[in-house]
A = this chain, B = another copy of it.
Amino acid sequence: MTKVRAIGHRIPMDSAADPRVLVVDDDPALAEVVARYLRREGFEVDYAADGATGLQRALSTLPDLVVLDLMMPGMDGFEVCRRLRRATAVPVVMLTARGEENDRIAGLDLGADDYVTKPFSPRELAARVRAVLRRAAAEAAPAPLLTGGGVEVDTVAHRVSRRGAPVTLTTKEYDLLVCFLTSPGRAFRREELLETVWGWSIGDTSTVTVHVRRLREKIEDDASAPRHLTTVRGVGYRWEP
């Protein structure tokens, strides 16, 4: 995972309950419309009528997302967003007036995840809210990792690390490692590896030997006394977790 989310942010997908949205707007009529629509769309909606209240509510209830009006008396949307960002990573959707280009840019700078320009339809807002939540969930979802013996392989990012430290492998080394990690403890014959990793049905098995050696050099503490990628004499190699 690349980005660390701040403490306390609930991830909607993880919970069975509906995603909770906090709407902060000084126009009660608008907020009411928005809230009703969002509720019908399956969100649990809370409401605050000004910036200070909204901030406090957000920090205490930790909603899944905050809909934030930009122009408010007292503490405006900018300020709320900024303070919110200090403590949490809760996604924010800004409501801005049409054509406030500068405000939009500044809003992005402050870490708003999306913006909707007034006038907007509740349907549009709901769509944006859903999209942002989807993105946030995807971002928080950890990448599937192959692990074993202090080695981690992120097959999505195509990245390898050993005790947290990044390791650069060549294609063949990578394929070999993945092969071993998907079947830890299993002994692979050289011919088998040649078939699986190289796609050869016949060939010089010393090729495997050399690549295993190179792989050991990168992921073992002591390549001449391997503890994970061990030799099975007369057969081939095996990964010890």
Contact = CB atoms under 8 A, between A and B. Distances in A.
A29 B105 contact: yes
Contacts of A144: 114, 128, 131
Interface in A121-175: 121-124, 127-128, 131-132, 135, 139, 143-145, 147, 152, 156-159, 161, 164, 170-171, 174
26 contacts: A3-B241, A33-B109, A89-B123, A105-B161, A108-B145, A108-B147, A108-B152, A109-B122, A111-B121, A111-B122, A113-B145, A114-B121, A114-B144, A114-B145, A120-B135, A131-B144, A143-B185, A156-B186, A157-B185, A157-B186, A158-B187, A158-B235, A158-B238, A170-B234, A171-B234, A174-B234
Interface of A: 1-3, 29, 32-33, 36-37, 89, 91, 101, 105, 108-109, 111-115, 119-124, 127-128, 131-132, 135, 139, 143-145, 147, 152, 156-159, 161, 164, 170-171, 174, 184-187, 232-235, 238, 240-241
